[in-house]
């Protein structure tokens, strides 16, 4: 996705309309999501911020990271946040055979036995993969706003501006609780929360 597309264009949402890009009926509510954790320090920092602000979010977790950091994963759930499947080891769907991709998703299911939210790493998923994932009962959760916190060419101030300028009622916003995104995310996240709280927004979790 090009950087100018910090907000997902409407025509893409119309083409792949069975995937969830935003929550259009939300009333002054936005949805914070975090990809790639759980990661020590980074995810814990995010959880501390969310706890202090008394809001909840949705974490799309990598299976291998759940296995390595189960205590952090349990904290995510204990503190009332939603969790979703982000493959076992961050696979790119465009470069992966469908059968292999589905198997990779199912490896994560042992940690998320009742959870049926899925977000493809990189946002890269073939239509056939998407069809089969949905047949397994998953909702495919994409995004309305991409923060670009992971991009080394994006400054912390740009990351903040992308989110604030593009987010509206029902926006699903993507941050990353990963090491490479940490600097930008830690700068932007508290300011995003305070900005939208001041404007009367609440923060929801995905279902």
Residues 6+ apart with CB under 8 A from 100: 91
Q: Tell me the C-alpha distance between 53 and 182, whole Å.
A: 19
- The pairing of strands 202-203 and 29-35 is parallel
Structure tokens at 179: 């090491």
Catalytic residue selected from 144, 149, 176, 177: 176
Catalytic residue selected from 35, 36, 144, 149: 35
Query: Active-site residue 176, yes or no?
Result: yes
Q: Tell me the C-alpha distance between 193 and 188, whole Å.
A: 9
Query: Active-site residue 69, yes or no?
Result: no
Contact 124, 137 (CB under 8 A): no
Structure tokens at 150: 């992971």
Helix (H) or strand (E) run with residue 11 in it: helix 10-15
Q: Tell me the C-alpha distance between 159 and 164, whole Å.
A: 9
Residues carrying an active site annotation: 35, 176
């Amino acid at each position: 996705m090009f950087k100018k597309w910090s907000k997902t264009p409407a025509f893409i949402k119309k083409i792949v309309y069975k995937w969830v890009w935003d929550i259009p009926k939300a009333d002054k509510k936005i949805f914070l999501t975090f990809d790639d954790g759980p990661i020590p320090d980074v995810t814990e920092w995010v959880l501390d911020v969310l706890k202090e602000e008394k809001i909840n979010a949705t974490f799309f977790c990598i299976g291998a990271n759940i296995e390595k950091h189960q205590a952090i994963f349990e904290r995510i759930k204990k503190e009332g946040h939603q969790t979703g499947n982000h493959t076992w080891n961050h696979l790119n769907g465009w470069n992966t055979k469908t059968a292999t991709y589905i198997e990779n998703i199912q490896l994560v299911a042992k940690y998320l036995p009742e959870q049926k939210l899925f977000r493809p790493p990189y946002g890269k998923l073939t239509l056939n993969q998407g069809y089969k994932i949905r047949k397994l009962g998953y909702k495919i959760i994409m995004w309305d706003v991409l923060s670009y916190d992971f991009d080394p060419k994006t400054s912390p101030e740009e990351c903040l501006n992308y989110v604030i300028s593009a987010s509206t009622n029902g926006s699903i916003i993507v941050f990353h609780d990963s090491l490479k995104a940490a600097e930008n995310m830690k700068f932007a996240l508290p300011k995003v929360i305070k900005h939208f709280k001041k404007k009367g927004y609440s923060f929801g979790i995905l279902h």
